[in-house]
Each structure stands twice: as C-alpha cells, then as structure tokens.
C-alpha cells in the first residue's frame, strides 16, 4: 500500500513510501499479466548478470572515454543485443581525446626502498621508460615574487601537488573510537593544512591544482604526484591529469603522506617511475542504442538510461557497470518475455558521461522526436544495493503515473522503495538531466549513496567484487517492469512543472536546469 502523502516542504514536496506490510500494491499483488510474470521468473531464476558482469568488468575493464576499452565495450554491447535478437545501433557522438594506458610502476628508492600504490591520471603522457628524480613539495613560504625562482629549480623533480592528510583513517571510525578532542584536533589540522596549501597554489596562479600545476610542466619537472583522498581506508579519487605535457600519477593517501613527510623532513626522497601511457589524438566515440519497437505508439518512447563509460582506476563496476548491466539485462528480460509494448522501449548506453554528460546530451540534440514523445526515462547511475528511491524530479503530476507503474512490481522488490513526489532537481551530474532540462520526464532509480561515494565512486576499488548481485537482479526486474508498465499506460505522463524547493542562498524557489550543448570534441584540441 502507498502510505498517505506527507507534505515536507511548504512548496509541495511530497514524500511517499511503499511498505511490505500494507496490501494496496496491486491489491495484494496478483498480477497475472504474462509479460510481467515472465520478466519476474526469467530475471530471478535465469539471471545473466554475473556472466555479463565478468565479461564487461573483468575482461574489458574500465571504459574511459577515448580509450580502446570504451570502443570494445560498445562493440560488446552491440554483439549481446544482436545475439538476443534486439535491434541495436551505434550512434556517433563526436570525438574525444584518445588515450592508451599501459602498466605503471612507481618505487621509492631513497631513503629506503618501497613499491608505491600508483595509478596514472587520465590522459597523462607516459615516461618513455624508467625515470628517476627527487621529490619536492611546494614551499610553505612561496609568494608570487618567489615562485619564479622555485619553478626554475624544478628540473627533473617530481612535484607533490596536493595537501597531505593528517590521517587516512575513515572519519566514521575516528568518530566512533577516538576522543572528541582528538577528532576536533584532526579536523582543525586538516582544515588548516588545506587552507595553507591553497595559499601555496595561489602563488602559482590558482588555488585549483589542475590550473596552478600546469606551470610546473613548463619548468622541466619530471612529473606531478597527486592524491585526492576519498575519506575511506586506502581509497582515492582519480580523475584527469592537470597537463598533457608531463606524466601525472596518483598515489594512495598513505603513500602520498609518506613522500610528503620525507620531503618536509629533509630526508631526500627519490622515485623511480616507469609509466606506460600514450595520447593518440582525437578518436570517435559512440552511444549504443537498443530498441524494442512499439506496436501501437511507436513514436512515443520509454527510455532505460545508463552511461557506459567510466574512469580508469579500477573496473568501473559501480560507476556505472551496475547501471549498464541493469539496463542490458532489463532489455533481455523484456525480449525474452515476448513483450509487444504499445510504446517503443529504448536503452541508451551513453558515451562520455564522466567528462560532461556528452553522450546523453548529444542524443537529446540529435533526437528531438524522442524528447517530444518521451513517456519516461529511468536512469541508474550510483552503485550497488537495492533501489531505495525513485525521485519525481519536480514533475508535478508524475507521482500518480509512477505509483501506477510500480504497483505492478512484485511486492518483495517494490517494498521499501521511497517515492518522492514531485521532488526536486537532484544530481545535475547524471544523464537524466539531459532530458529533464528539456521538460521531458526523467527519473532516477536511486541506490544508497554514502558508501558508494566514500569507497567506489571514481576510485581504484570500483571492482566486480563490490557488486551485490542479489540486489542487481531485482533492480533489473524492477527496471524492466517499470519500462513495460510505462509503455502500456493509456495515459501520457504529464509534463507540468512544480515549484522547486527554496534555494537557501537566494530565498527563492530553485531554478529548473537549462540544457547545455553536447561537447562534440575535446576543448583542448579545438
């Protein structure tokens, strides 16, 4: 049963929950639609998610935009859809920076020997064989006037580019086990250290290290060493290099701290770095679009949405291998059920989400007919665990439609899912926004966030073993049934917009996002 709506914001944000203990879900859920029965049985008894996951995440691996692995993953998706008899196509998006990543080995060779945990930054050049050099920090007393002299002495040095953490213990463990005054002291040291490091970077021209450190490349440095700690044990966020001119790599929080302390203590740390990586110019990249054609309303659409690309540090398992697999399996379940949906059901596997929602924005620009005929978009883009929330994204009357669709889902899958109506505009960094910005209904299938953000989002720990396949199986069944129910619905989803919650900075209702143009080529090569 759907609990009575509760107004939680004065402008009309309503939150509704589904509960196992209440019997309205399809009046006890005796759904006899043979398509839904087939989807559920196939998805739960003959799930293909584990072998699909091994192929995509273990064999192909991370799928950074512009890499051979992304191209291989797109071709693999096409082959799977063709194998299942589902219409599929690759659609060109534009070009992106080509990059091929090989092996990386970073060793501390003085004052003692230790192999360090290192990963190249995306789109970094390699070292062209082993390179040795000293390790330096940016001086604490650096000013705009003295920066030139310091830069002139960087020849052959590896530059530590980020502030050091006072501890690499997870915050929640400190809060659970340390004294309050200890936690407060560590927080104070961390805050002061980051502020002081910002002052050092500002002397180089910008408090943003990606901008400030471009100057380092012009003065003969051997490389740039980075470490953006995630807040969890042994986990760092790894993104793109600050410059294409010299090698850049990331170290674990622990290893970065070791180098920093050695350098600050005058212990003369030296590294040997052998990093194989190559920039290969501009390369084309593509979306993969699968289609089950509508039988009655082929020019109206339901879209299953997930980005195929990932960052490169691990396997891209929970960002967004899980979303990719969910939508791939959902389409398989729809096909195997013999569904002949009234509306066309599409699966969009988007290119280059991680560098600017490029694939989904390009699709929206290239297919105004889909935007015009869109009944619903269901986007999944955050890790593992069971779907816990479906957000209305500010569409005033969408809640009635979603409630009707989810009432057709088995109770043990739908139970506990929170429906947020009409909701606000959440997560402008995911692909649903490429459709909602144009007023087309787009909804997020949301899994729990905290652990994902701390441990697997854009990190070197985002690997196959982190996936909870029992939950992923049910998520695929949920996505397939929602798509089918939306495709069968006799009523179009209304596009009326609600007032968004008050923006605390302005005191006014939040603004609906404006659509941004797709970046069809890398800006540095334009």
Q: What pLDDT sits at residue 507? A: 86
Contacts of 321 by beta carbon, 8 Å cutoff, 6+ apart: 53, 56, 57, 310, 315, 464, 467
pLDDT-derived band at 524 (thresholds 50, 70, 90) equals: low
**What pLDDT is attached to residue 15?**
42
Q: How far apart are CA 157 and CA 110, in angstroms?
A: 14
Is 56 exposed, middle or buried, given 0-12, 13-18 or 19+ CB atoms closer than 10 A? Answer: buried
- The pLDDT of residue 526 is 35
Q: Is the pLDDT of residue 19 over 80?
A: no
* pLDDT in the model for residue 450: 87
* pLDDT above 50: residue 50: yes
* Beta pairing class for 270-292 and 248-251: unpaired
Q: Does pLDDT of 11 surpass 70?
A: no
- What mean pLDDT comes out for the span 326-342? 98
Return the DSSP state at 213: T
CB 250 within 8 A of CB 121: yes
3-state secondary structure of 16: strand
Instruction: Kindly report which listed range (18-27, 89-98, 253-262, 355-364) carries the lowest average pLDDT score.
Output: 18-27
- For the segment 33-39, the average pLDDT, to the nearest whole number, is 96
pTM for the whole structure: 0.93
Query: Into which CATH architecture does domain 24-60+293-386+428-496 fall?
Result: 3-Layer(aba) Sandwich (3.40)
28: left (phi over 0), alpha (psi -120 to 50) or beta: left
Closest CA to 355 of 307, 283, 400: 307
Residue 61 in tokens: 């691996």
Question: How would CATH label the architecture of 98-281?
Answer: 3-Layer(bba) Sandwich (3.50)
What whole-number distance in Å separates Cα of residue 165 and Cα of residue 259? 12
Q: How far apart are CA 155 and CA 205, in angstroms?
A: 20
The CA distance from 187 to 391, in Å, is: 34
C-alpha span between 330 and 142 (Å, rounded):
56
500: confidence class by pLDDT, cuts 50, 70, 90: confident
* Residue 352 confidence (pLDDT): 98
Using DSSP, state whether 5 is helix, strand or coil: coil
Tokens at residue 357, please?
Answer: 């929602």
Q: What is the pLDDT of residues 365-396, one digit of tens each?
A: 999 999 999 999 999 998 889 999 998 899 99
Residue 435: band (very low, low, confident or very high) from pLDDT cuts 50, 70, 90 = very high
78-125 pLDDT tens trace: 999 999 999 999 999 999 999 999 999 999 999 999 999 999 999 999
Q: Hey, where are the domains in the chain? A: 24-60+293-386+428-496, 98-281
Q: What element of type H or E holds 89?
A: strand 87-110
């Amino acid at each position: 049963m759907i609990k009575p709506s509760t107004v939680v914001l004065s402008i009309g944000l309503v939150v509704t929950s589904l509960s196992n203990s209440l019997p309205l879900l399809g009046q006890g859920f005796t759904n006899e639609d043979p398509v839904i029965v087939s989807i559920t049985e196939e998805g739960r008894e003959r799930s293909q998610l584990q072998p699909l996951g091994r192929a995509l995440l273990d064999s192909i691996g991370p799928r950074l935009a512009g890499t051979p692995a992304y191209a291989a993953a797109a071709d693999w998706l096409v082959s799977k859809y063709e194998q299942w008899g589902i219409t599929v196509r690759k659609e060109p998006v534009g070009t992106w920076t080509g990059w091929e990543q090989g092996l990386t080995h970073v060793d501390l060779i003085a004052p003692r020997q230790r192999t360090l945990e290192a990963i190249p930054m995306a789109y970094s050049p390699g070292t062209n064989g082993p390179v040795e050099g000293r390790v330096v920090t940016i001086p604490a007393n650096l000013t705009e006037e003295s920066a030139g002299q310091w830069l002139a002495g960087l020849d052959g040095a590896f530059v530590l580019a980020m502030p050091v953490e006072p501890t690499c213990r997870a915050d929640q463990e400190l809060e659970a086990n340390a004294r309050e005054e200890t936690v407060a002291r560590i927080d104070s040291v961390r805050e002061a250290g980051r502020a002081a490091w910002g002052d050092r970077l500002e002397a180089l021209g910008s408090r943003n290290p990606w901008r400030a450190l471009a100057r380092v490349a012009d003065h003969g440095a051997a490389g740039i060493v980075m470490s953006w700690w995630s807040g969890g044990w042994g986990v760092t966020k790894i993104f793109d290099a600050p410059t294409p001119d010299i090698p850049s790599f990331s170290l674990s929080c622990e290893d970065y701290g070791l180098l920093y302390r050695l350098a600050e203590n005058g212990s003369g740390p030296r590294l040997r770095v052998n990093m194989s990586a190559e920039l290969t110019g501009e390369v084309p990249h593509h979306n993969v679009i699968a289609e089950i054609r509508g039988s009655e309303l082929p020019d109206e659409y339901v879209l299953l949405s997930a980005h195929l690309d990932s960052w490169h540090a691990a396997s891209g398992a929970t960002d967004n291998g899980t979303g990719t697999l969910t939508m791939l399996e959902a389409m398989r379940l729809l096909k195997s059920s013999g569904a002949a949906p009234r509306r066309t059901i599409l699966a969009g596997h988007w290119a280059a989400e991680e560098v600017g929602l490029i694939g989904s924005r390009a699709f929206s620009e290239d297919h105004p007919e889909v935007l015009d005929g869109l009944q619903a978009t269901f986007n999944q883009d955050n890790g593992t665990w069971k779907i816990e929330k479906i957000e209305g994204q500010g569409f005033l009357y969408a809640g009635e439609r979603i409630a009707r669709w989810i009432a057709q889902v088995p109770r043990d899958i739908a139970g506990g899912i929170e429906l947020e109506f009409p909701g606000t505009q959440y997560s402008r960094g995911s692909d649903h926004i490429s459709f909602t910005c144009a007023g087309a209904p787009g909804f997020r299938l949301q899994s729990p966030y905290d652990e994902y953000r701390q441990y697997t989002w854009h990190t070197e720990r985002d690997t196959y073993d982190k996936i909870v396949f029992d939950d992923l199986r049910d998520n695929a069944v949920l996505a397939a049934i929602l798509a089918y129910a939306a495709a069968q619905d006799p009523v179009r989803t209304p596009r009326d917009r609600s007032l968004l919650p008050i923006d605390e900075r302005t005191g006014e209702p939040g603004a609906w996002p404006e659509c941004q143009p797709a970046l069809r080529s890398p800006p540095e090569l334009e």
